[in-house]
Amino acid sequence: MYIPSHFSENKLEAIHDLIESQPLGVLITHGAGGLDANHLPFLLDRGTGKFGTLHCHVARNNPVWQALNDEDEVLVVFRAADAYISPNWYPSKHETHRQVPTWNYLVAHAHGRVRIHDDERYVRRVVALLTQRHESTQPLPWKMGDAPRDYLDSMLAQIVGIEIGITRLEGKVKLSQNKEARDIAGAGQALADSGETRIGAAMLRQVKT
């Protein structure tokens, strides 16, 4: 990924936060059949490995797990937020007219080596942890024990686990850092006013700091 220095996010904790804020990642692989991309919810284990470890599962009918060998290199892309930026939102545009449209975004790329887990114990643990994480905000959280045992066992038998030991992390936070503070503030406020709160708030925070 091309990352100009002013858009680079180098803090490990910040990249981990970005991944956990938008855990639906794109798993990009290159097997015997060529390039493939699968959209999967990931669980990040921050404490395992230098950069952390990702866990997910795929349908047994998905050929991706059979196309991969343990230790194959893969890439997972996480896009946390994005927004179009109009030049009309920059105060300087109305003075000089020397601005063009752009797109701001928050993304992370996790490079790593894969390990396939075709075993019930691993899959059950990943499903349990994903469920706990994403049901925690529900008024009445669903838990695995709510489903009949035979039904749940049959569902778990239809999926295969994938573990990715992260070997390199890249974070890109493009928030108009190459613009004047007043232009960042103007675009950030326009986004916030239009409902694009995440990118807008992030732009306004950097002007205040």
DSSP reduced 3-state for 195: coil
What pLDDT score was predicted for residue 209?
65
pLDDT digits (tens, 9 = 90+) for 171-187: 999 999 999 999 999 99
Q: DSSP per residue over 59-86, as a string?
A: ETT-THHHH--TT-EEEEEEEEEEEEE-
What's at 156, amino acid-wise? L
Task: Identify the DSSP state of 50.
Answer: S
Average of pLDDT values for 121-135? 96
Share of the chain above pLDDT 90, in %: 91
Average of pLDDT values for 182-203? 93
Pick the closest to residue 89 from 166, 188, 16 (CA basis).
188
What pLDDT score was predicted for residue 99?
87
Q: Which residues are 56's β-sheet partners?
A: 162
Residue boundaries of the structural domains of the chain: 5-84+103-178
Query: Which are the contacts of 171, defined by CB distance < 8 A and separation ≥ 6?
Result: 8, 9, 10, 11, 14, 15, 18, 107, 108, 109
Query: Which are the contacts of 170, defined by CB distance < 8 A and separation ≥ 6?
Result: 1, 3, 15, 108, 109, 111
CATH for 5-84+103-178, options being 2.60.40.420, 2.30.110.10, 3.30.70.360, 3.30.540.10: 2.30.110.10
Task: Identify the DSSP state of 146.
Answer: G
Whole-structure pTM value: 0.92
